[in-house]
Structure 1
Amino acid sequence: MFKVVIDPGHGGEDPGAVGPGGVQEKSVNLAVAKRIASLLSPVAEVRLTRTEEEALGTDDRSDLYGRAALANEWVADCFVSIHCNGAADPSAHGTETYHYPDSGQGRELAQAIHSRLIPDLGLTDRGVKQANFKVLRQTDCPACLVELAFISNPEEERLLENRDFQETAAQAVAAGIADFLGACLQPAPAPETVAPTNPELDDWKLKIVREAREAGLISQDHDPDESGAVWFVLAIALNLLKVVKG
């Protein structure tokens, strides 16, 4: 099987870029990277440079070196670093992918992933670019760095935090890696079908919420899709209240 290293950028005390709403890049990177690893598992052995909110070194230099070293020591077939972009201008937006200058296979890897990301994410195409990033420079195998979207942009920050967007991004990156490796990656399973809601059931749930709030048993409305235990407790409490008042 192919050997692929997926690198969730940042980690530990380094949150990476932080959005205006407080979303941290390191957490988004890790969530997407883990899903990419899962999607690629049928065709490749995948290693993550980190699996928790941790750093790989005591400072930026050693952390970045450790990421590249993992791929080099394992003799990986490719290395993909996952990031969220950031800019001083909150209007900056879009997706871009980087490879090391004059790296032929790195460029091919970047293009393969980028060509999947752009139509799937539907964000502005900022292109495939060259950069002298340490994780690209120090990695022996074909490597690229993906900037999914701008976490500094309020709208794109909300997308990056959204699980559906993360899933779409992960599927696109995984498909691009498979394209580069010449592997046949089966389509991801469709999400489980949610059973149709029962309008009558939802009506009585909402009625319980309304009555419980009016009776002072709860201080705010609740989602009708919450655990059934919530409704059971509220129903009994209302019945008891009616008995006491009666």
Structure 2
Amino acid sequence: MLIAVDPGHGGKDPGAVVGDYKEKDINLNIALKIRDILVKENISVIMTRDKDETVDLQQRCDIANKSKADYFISIHCNNFTDPSANGTETYAYPRSLAGRNLAQYVQNEIVEMLKTTNRGVKYESFYVLKHTIMPAILVETAFMSNPQNLDLLLQKPDAFAQGIANGTIKFLKSVNYKQTDDIEKLQMKGIIDKHYDPKSYVTWGEFASVILKILGGR
């Protein structure tokens, strides 16, 4: 399992700026902590950046795509002209069911961990969501423009990272359980001959045999 973790902005692009605080730094701090948590759970991680450097949107997608990452998680902070706006929201590409499910798990865990306002899961065609070839989400952790949210981002980056990591891990476990259960059902129905690892590859010969069994040809 390989997760691409993408700290938004960086280098010449600071993202949102509130006083002395820059979004790019907060994003990177949280993202590095996510990496460390996932690695301890034996989940491989590739970073689109691991320092303060400029990485454009296409480069971020290329890093994830070329690495053949299984999932992509982009970390951002929100910002708005009205300082009363607050809370956490997570975005997924509307055509990706897996992305939408991952977003819901992550959203739930952040809100549970930080008690931030739940702004829900939303669907957009943001560049990094549309141009990555794996299920992808973009997390708006909290609003830098809201004083209380900014305090959380500065004082509790570990909690944000833990929430995002927990959501990711729970999602991965749910996917693996569902796939394993589906394989067992096919085996019981005689459509496949043995139990397969959900991540193992299927040859064209095996695929043809399964289709013929479904069609009643064998």
TM-score range, shorter chain: 0.7 to 0.9
- Picking from 144, 147, 156, the partner of 2:140 is 147
Matched, 1:69 2:68: no
Where do residues 15-34 of structure 1 align in structure 2 (5 Å cutoff)? 15-19=14-18, 21-34=19-32
CA deviation vs aligned residue, 1:151-209 (integer Å, no higher than 9, x gap): 011221122111xx1001101111111112118xxxxxxxxxxxxxxxxxxxxxxxxxx
CA shift, 1:22, in A, is 2.5
Q: In the alignment, what sits opposite 2:103?
A: 110
CA deviation vs aligned residue, 1:9-31 (integer Å, no higher than 9, x gap): 00001110112x32110000000
Q: In the alignment, what sits opposite 1:35?
A: 33
CA deviation vs aligned residue, 1:78-118 (integer Å, no higher than 9, x gap): 00000000111111100000001121111011011111111
- Picking from 152, 170, 188, the partner of 1:179 is 170
Q: In the alignment, what sits opposite 1:5?
A: 4
- Equivalents in 2 of 1:39, 1:117: separation in Å? 15
Which AA in structure 2 matches 1:179? Answer: K
Q: In the alignment, what sits opposite 2:209?
A: none
TM, length-normalised to structure 2: 0.77
TM, length-normalised to structure 1: 0.69
Which AA in structure 2 matches 1:149? Answer: A
Structure 2: gaps spanning 5 or more residues: 175-218
What secondary structure sits across from 1:147 in the alignment? Answer: strand
Q: Which one has the largest radius of gyration? A: 1
Contact between 1:82 and 1:145, CA under 8 Å: does it hold in 2? yes
- Equivalents in 2 of 1:115, 1:156: separation in Å? 17
- Equivalents in 1 of 2:119, 2:20: separation in Å? 25
Structure 1: gaps spanning 5 or more residues: 57-62, 184-246
Q: Percent of pairs identical after alignment? A: 47
Which AA in structure 2 matches 1:68? Answer: C
RMSD of equivalent CA atoms = 1.1
For these two proteins, the number of residue pairs brought into alignment is 173
Which AA in structure 1 matches 2:22? Answer: Q
Contact between 1:23 and 1:157, CA under 8 Å: does it hold in 2? no
Contact between 1:23 and 1:161, CA under 8 Å: does it hold in 2? no
Q: Which runs of 4+ in 1 moved over 4 A?
A: none
